[in-house]
Amino acid sequence: MNPLSTARKAFAAVLLGALLTAGAIAQGPTPKHIYPEISTAQHDLDAAIAQAHRQHKRVLVDFGGDWCGDCQVLDIYAHQAPNDQLLAKYFVKVNINIGHIDTNFDIAKRCGVDLHGVPALAVLDNQGHVIFAQHNEFSDMRNMNSSDLTAFLNKWKQ
C-alpha cells in the first residue's frame, strides 16, 4: 500500500473523530428528563391538587420543558437545601410540559401564567385556586441563585 494513501486515511480518520467530538461538545450534555409527557398534564395537576388537599399543602406548578436550560437550573436549585425541605414540607410540586412553548396553554391560562418565558411558576391553594402566578421572573434562572428560589418558596409557603 502507498505510504501517502495510508497517511491520507489516517488523517481522514483523525479529522472525522475531531468533527464528531466537536459536534458532541457543541450539543452539550443531554438534559435531565424533568417534565412528563405533554398528554399527562391535566391528570398530573389534578393528582397534585388532590394530594395537596389531603396533606394541607400548596401546589407549586412548574411550566417548562426538558430543552430549557433555565428549567434545568431551577430543578437543580429545587433539589438543594433548604429548597428541598421547603418543597417537601409546604408544597406538592407538579411539572407541566409545555412542549416548545406550544402546548398546555389552557392549563397555564387557568393558572394565570403567561408563557412568554420558562420556567414559569404558579402557586395554588389545596383546592386548586390560584394564589400567585409568575410572569417571567425565573425565565433567566441560570443567572440567578438558589437563594432566589428559597425566597420565593418562603414567601408563598402557608
**Residues 17-34 pLDDT 10s:** 444 444 444 445 667 899
What b/e readout covers 57-85, taking b as 16+ CB neighbours within 10 angstroms?
bbbbbbbbbbebebbbbbbebbeeeebee
Which 8-state DSSP code applies to residue 47?
H
Q: Looking at residues 5-18, what average pLDDT do you find?
A: 47
CATH topology of domain 38-156: Glutaredoxin (3.40.30)
pLDDT band of 91, cuts 50, 70, 90: very high
> Who has greater pLDDT, 3 or 60?
60
For residue 48, CA distances in Å to 8, 42, 80, 104 come to 61, 10, 21, 16
